[in-house]
Structure 1
Amino acid sequence: MDKNQLGVQYMQEGKWEEAAKIFNEVIEENPQDAIAYINFGNVLSAVGDDEKALKFYEKAIQLDENAAAAYYSAGNIYFSNEKFETAKDMFEHAMKKGLHSSDNYFMLGLTLVQLDQGKFALPYLQRSVELNEEDAEACFQYGLCLAQLELIDEAIVQLEKCLKLDAEHSDAYYNLGVSYAFKEDAKKALAMFEKALEIQPDHLLAGYAKKLIEKGQ
Structure 2
Amino acid sequence: MRLSLAIAMAEEKVKEGGKNKMSDKKWFNKGAKAGKVEKREKLLKTYEKAIEVISKYAVTLFIKGFELSELGRHKKALKIYKKIIKLFPQLNVAWFYKGFELSKLGRHKKALKAYEKAIEIDPQYAEAWSNKGVALSELGRHKDALKAHKKAIEIDPKNALAYTNLGELFFKLGNLKKASENVEKALKIESDLVPALNLQGRIKIEEKAYDAASESFKQAMSLDGANPVHFLWDTYTNYLKIGFNLDSEDKKYQEEIATIIRNLEKMNETLSKNQKQEKEMRAYVLYFLGHFYLKSNDILTAKEKLEECIKLKSKSSIKASARELLGNIWNYRIKPPWWRWWLNSPLYRWPKRFGFSILLLLISALLLLHPFIPGWFPLLQINWSLYAFLIVLLIIILFLPNIKRIQIKGIEVELQSPPPYEPVLSPTVMEEIMKEIEAKYTKLE
TM-score range, shorter chain: 0.7 to 0.9
| 8 A Cα contact 1:79 1:111, kept in partner | yes
- Structure 1's unaligned 5+ residue stretches are 178-188, 208-217
| 1:45 aligned residue | 137
1:118 aligns with 2:210: yes
| 8 A Cα contact 1:173 1:192, kept in partner | no
Q: 1:159 to 1:20 in 2, by over 3 A?
A: same
- TM-score for the superposition, normalised by structure 1: 0.73
Task: Please give the alpha-carbon distance, in whole angstroms, between the structure 2 residues aligned to 1:120 and 1:193.
Answer: 35
| 2:434 aligned residue | none
Q: 1:110 to 1:15 in 2, by over 3 A?
A: closer
| 2:225 aligned residue | 132
| 2:264 aligned residue | 162
2:123 to 31, 41, 46: 31
Per mean C-alpha deviation after superposition, the further-off stretch among 83-92 and 61-70 is: 83-92
| 1:210 aligned residue | none
> In the alignment, residue 137 of structure 1 is paired with which amino acid?
L
Q: 1:200 to 1:132 in 2, by over 3 A?
A: farther
Task: Please give the alpha-carbon distance, in whole angstroms, between the structure 1 residues aligned to 2:216 and 2:150.
Answer: 25
- SS for the counterpart of 1:204 is coil
Task: Please give the alpha-carbon distance, in whole angstroms, between the structure 2 residues aligned to 1:205 and 1:144.
Answer: 15
Aligned length: 195
Summarize deviations over 1:72-99 as a string: whole Å, max 9, x none.
Answer: 1122222222211211122222222216
Q: With a CA cutoff of 8 Å and minimum separation of 6, indicate the structure with the bigger relative contact order.
A: 1
Per mean C-alpha deviation after superposition, the further-off stretch among 14-23 and 53-62 is: 14-23
Task: Please give the alpha-carbon distance, in whole angstroms, between the structure 1 residues aligned to 2:99 and 2:175.
Answer: 29
Q: 1:67 to 1:157 in 2, by over 3 A?
A: same
| 1:95 aligned residue | 187
> In the alignment, residue 168 of structure 1 is paired with which amino acid?
Y
- SS for the counterpart of 1:32 is coil
Q: 1:21 to 1:89 in 2, by over 3 A?
A: same
> In the alignment, residue 45 of structure 1 is paired with which amino acid?
S
- SS for the counterpart of 2:190 is coil
- Structure 2's unaligned 5+ residue stretches are 1-83, 85-93, 247-251, 269-281, 304-323, 329-419, 426-445
| 1:195 aligned residue | 302
| 1:183 aligned residue | none
Per mean C-alpha deviation after superposition, the further-off stretch among 55-64 and 13-22 is: 13-22
Give the number of the structure whose alpha-carbon radius of gyration is greater.
2
| 8 A Cα contact 1:143 1:159, kept in partner | no
- TM-score for the superposition, normalised by structure 2: 0.39
> In the alignment, residue 167 of structure 1 is paired with which amino acid?
L
Summarize deviations over 1:153-179 as a string: whole Å, max 9, x none.
Answer: 5664345423634111278517x82xx
Summarize deviations over 1:91-110 as a string: whole Å, max 9, x none.
Answer: 22222221624433222112
**Alpha-carbon distance, 1:116 to partner:** 2.5
1:21 aligns with 2:113: yes
**Alpha-carbon distance, 1:45 to partner:** 1.4
| 8 A Cα contact 1:75 1:87, kept in partner | yes
| 1:211 aligned residue | none
| 8 A Cα contact 1:139 1:158, kept in partner | no
> In the alignment, residue 225 of structure 2 is paired with which amino acid?
N
| 8 A Cα contact 1:23 1:36, kept in partner | yes
| 1:7 aligned residue | 99
| 8 A Cα contact 2:130 2:152, kept in partner | yes
Task: Please give the alpha-carbon distance, in whole angstroms, between the structure 1 residues aligned to 2:124 and 2:208.
Answer: 40
Per mean C-alpha deviation after superposition, the further-off stretch among 10-19 and 32-41 is: 10-19
| 1:215 aligned residue | none
Summarize deviations over 1:173-204 as a string: whole Å, max 9, x none.
Answer: 17x82xxxxxxxxxxx3226993884473553
1:173 aligns with 2:292: yes
Q: 1:149 to 1:74 in 2, by over 3 A?
A: farther
Per mean C-alpha deviation after superposition, the further-off stretch among 125-134 and 22-31 is: 125-134
| 1:71 aligned residue | 163
| 1:180 aligned residue | none
2:199 to 107, 110, 113: 107
